[in-house]
Chains A and B, each alone.
Chain A
Amino acid sequence: NAGVTQTPKFRVLKTGQSMTLLCAQDMNHEYMYWYRQDPGMGLRLIHYSVGEGTTAKGEVPDGYNVSRLKKQNFLLGLESAAPSQTSVYFCASSQPVAGNQPQHFGDGTRLSIL
């Protein structure tokens, strides 16, 4: 099992460019999450999904959009990248038993906005 796979692993963008980060999981998990990790800030939840076709806002959703067209995939989009979005982005997935299941993480996408 690959677990949670994120692509790309690294990317450099110019301000104003757009891009999509892809997350794929092969564990048949219902819930998927996108986080960003910045120095001294821990992980902050951007958007999450509790099932195919559903999405919801997390703690820091502005400037990002997401889609969950297939159960195994969760896409994070930046429509017009800004330097403040330079960060490491992590995707995670979990089973739908509320409060009692760990989250499984990918190895992250390191994104720099110039």
Chain B
Amino acid sequence: SQQGEEDPQALSIQEGENATMNCSYKTSINNLQWYRQNSGRGLVHLILIRSNEREKHSGRLRVTLDTSKKSSSLLITASRAADTASYFCATDPQTSGSRLTFGEGTQLTVNP
């Protein structure tokens, strides 16, 4: 079964609104990463948060990590139509070496 599970599976918002996606996982991790995938393209790394960090920012992205609840959230502020994509969380379990386990993704649609 997938280590990471995203919620919701799909999200549709208007341009300018904020988008929040959540990720839950099952085992202890070294870090959690978020990736973006545009239609027909490969995944692109957005942000990495280590297990000893609680919050991280990068431009319009804000990621939080709660290791006690085994969950993370990705917030995209002031969304743009160009943010339309699928977003995946990926966990690096402590027993996996450098392997990542990906969730099933959240499909975000930002309407102009």
Instruction: Please tell me if the beta carbons of B103 and A99 are within 8 angstroms of each other in the complex.
Output: no
A79-114 vs B, CB cutoff 8 Å, 1 = contact: the mask equals 000000000001010101011111111111000000
In the complex with contacts A104-B45, A106-B42, A94-B98 CB distance below 8 A: yes
Binding site for B on A (CB under 8 A): 4, 31, 33, 35, 40-45, 48, 50, 58, 90, 92, 94, 96, 98-108
Instruction: Please tell me if the beta carbons of B31 and A100 are within 8 angstroms of each other in the complex.
Output: yes
Instruction: Please tell me if the beta carbons of B44 and A105 are within 8 angstroms of each other in the complex.
Output: yes
Which chain A residues border B45 with CB–CB below 8 Å?
102-104
Instruction: Please tell me if the beta carbons of A42 and B99 are within 8 angstroms of each other in the complex.
Output: no
Instruction: Please tell me if the beta carbons of A100 and B102 are within 8 angstroms of each other in the complex.
Output: no
Which chain A residues border B90 with CB–CB below 8 Å?
103
Instruction: Please tell me if the beta carbons of B2 and A100 are within 8 angstroms of each other in the complex.
Output: no
In the complex with contacts A98-B30, A100-B30, A50-B104 CB distance below 8 A: no
Which chain B residues border A90 with CB–CB below 8 Å?
42-43
B102 in complex: contacting residue of A42, A94, A99, CB < 8 Å: A42
Instruction: Please tell me if the beta carbons of A105 and B42 are within 8 angstroms of each other in the complex.
Output: yes
| Residues 1-49 of B contacting A (Cβ, < 8 Å) | 2, 4, 30-31, 33, 40-45, 48
Instruction: Please tell me if the beta carbons of A100 and B48 are within 8 angstroms of each other in the complex.
Output: yes
